[in-house]
Amino acid sequence: MPIGLHGYTPLIMYIGAILAFVLSIAWKPQISLYYLVPLLPMQTARYWLHGFLLGEKFVDFMLLGALIGLFLHRVERPVFVRSPLNKVLIAIFVLTYLSLWQGAFYLGGPLPVSYLDPRFSTWKNYVEMLCLFFIAAAVIRTKKQMALVMGLMCISLLMVNRNYVSTVGDRDFNHFSYELRDAGTLGYAGENGMGAFQAELAVFLIGLALFARKPILRLGLLAIALTSIYCLELTLSRGAYAGFLIGLLVLGLVKERKILILLIILLVSWQSFVPYAVTQRVMMTYQSGEGLDPSAGERVTLWEDALRAFNEDPVFGTGFNTYQYMGRVGPYTDTHNYYVKVLMETGLVGILIFLWQLKVAGSMSWRLFRRARDPILNALGCAFFAMLGCALIVNFFGDRWTYLQVNGFFWVLLGLVARSLHLMSQEESRDQEVTALEAEELDPDSSTAQEVSHA
């Protein structure tokens, strides 16, 4: 039972989902996204809907409602925003589905044509998450709507953090134990998934705060970021700690040099203000005379084994979502390094497209940060660029990329970046038209002369 809520919560959520779906079709397509966004990281809360008709398809129907509303109430053509990422994502859709078939032949399992096939279901959930990018970029059209989406993310994050602290806050963190760890509302994404989520959102909010002009807004964003940093500590996720530090480093290098000083202080004195369990968790990674601790050592073993499997077909790999069913190293079903997983399952073709995707996402956010004149868009570009830096690191220690509850916000925000670039392009076009008209008014003969010369 959720804290502060009564037993009618699942029914209220279900009725709200129906209303959001209907209103998105009949009125504004943004409504489905507004309703979906706060629930993206709350995997356990979305489970409450499974007891109702089609409740397990909640995310599907929210996206479908927004999509139908887009075409019924189209206000611009094309419906979807033109973006350099569009072609990359379409290539990923095609490649991963073909790879799904390859994996079926490799494993000798059922063909991927039915929702009853768990590999097909995994693929559907993965590409559906990427669809968040297209939907968010299409339905969110103004800066006010962007601010509302980010505000809903903040509310959702506070709810996730409140639940997490209430779950693990009374545990004894004076000594490390695996029993201390908990995934909270992120469910099957696991403790490390929770850590990655908290690290990425903390970096993003700090990035936004650096641009906030109103002190109360800046303090509010930093306060929410602090709740995430506190929860991040309690996840005892070393990969998430590393991702958070890299995210701060990016912000320090591209925006605020004072963060670099703070980062140095943090690296020198971190043991003095974190629970001792955190110190133990970090220091146990490598022990003099004993090498890597068992957890880190097992990761290296998994990576080495996955690279051996990669050699079987280095071009196209063994097939999408195949490692989980191989049973190559004990009970492990994941390579614990997403880059290694992509390389093994989709080969050199897959890893190159994946890196192309990361490069384009980074270029988009960097361009928005450096060229946007509006402070909201400027902040979004910088904050997302730093968040991407954090995401690059956390996925080095495991699959944090394919979980909706971990990466859902990431794809929505990337959709906002695409829409922001579209708005920026429209503003630049208008400015050019105004400049041309002003020049023509000042020197009407010049335009006539140009027309004659072109003729």
The reported pLDDT for the residue numbered 450 is 53
Pick the closest to residue 140 from 325, 411, 435, 341 (CA basis). Answer: 411
The reported pLDDT for the residue numbered 2 is 45
Strands 286-287 vs 291-292: parallel, antiparallel or unpaired? antiparallel
Q: How far apart are CA 272 and CA 197, in angstroms?
A: 25
Q: How far apart are CA 232 and CA 322, in angstroms?
A: 31
Pick the closest to residue 388 from 210, 205, 204 (CA basis). Answer: 204
Pick the closest to residue 382 from 243, 225, 254 (CA basis). Answer: 254
Contact of 381 with 420, CB cutoff 8 Å: yes
Rg (CA), the chain: 24
Q: How far apart are CA 109 and CA 293, in angstroms?
A: 36
Please give the C-alpha separations between residue 213 and each of 8, 208, 315, 375, 424, in angstroms, as whole numbers: 41, 10, 50, 9, 21
CA angle in degrees (0–180, nearest 5) for 400-404-408: 95
Strand-pairing partners, residue 374, are: none
Q: Which two tokens stand for residue 160?
A: 């996730």
The reported pLDDT for the residue numbered 431 is 74
316 burial via Cβ count (<10 Å: 0-12, 13-18, 19+): middle
Q: Which two tokens stand for residue 202?
A: 């903390």
Pick the closest to residue 389 from 259, 254, 267, 235 (CA basis). Answer: 254
CA-CA-CA-CA torsion for 74, 75, 78, 81, nearest 10 degrees? -100
The reported pLDDT for the residue numbered 4 is 46
Q: Which residue has the tokens 């800066």?
A: 143
Q: How far apart are CA 318 and CA 105, in angstroms?
A: 9
pLDDT digits (tens), the chain, 455 positions: 444 456 799 999 999 999 999 999 999 999 999 999 999 999 999 999 999 999 999 999 999 999 999 999 988 888 999 999 999 999 999 999 999 999 999 999 899 998 889 999 999 999 999 999 999 999 999 999 999 999 999 999 999 999 999 999 999 999 999 999 999 999 999 999 999 999 999 999 999 999 999 999 999 999 999 999 999 999 999 999 999 999 999 999 999 999 999 999 999 999 998 999 999 999 887 665 566 677 778 888 999 999 999 999 999 999 999 999 998 988 888 999 999 999 999 999 999 999 999 999 999 999 999 999 999 999 999 999 999 999 999 999 999 999 999 999 999 999 999 999 999 999 888 877 787 777 777 776 655 445 544 54
Pick the closest to residue 154 from 225, 235, 63 (CA basis). Answer: 225
Pick the closest to residue 56 from 43, 69, 65 (CA basis). Answer: 43
Q: Which two tokens stand for residue 309?
A: 């499997």
Contact of 356 with 85, CB cutoff 8 Å: no
Contact of 374 with 11, CB cutoff 8 Å: no
The reported pLDDT for the residue numbered 74 is 86
Strand-pairing partners, residue 287, are: 291
Q: How far apart are CA 438 and CA 170, in angstroms?
A: 67
Please report the DSSP string for 167-224 in residue order.
HHTTS-TTS--GGG---GGGGGGHHHHHHHHHHHHHHHHHHHHTT--SHHHHHHHHHH
Contact of 223 with 210, CB cutoff 8 Å: no
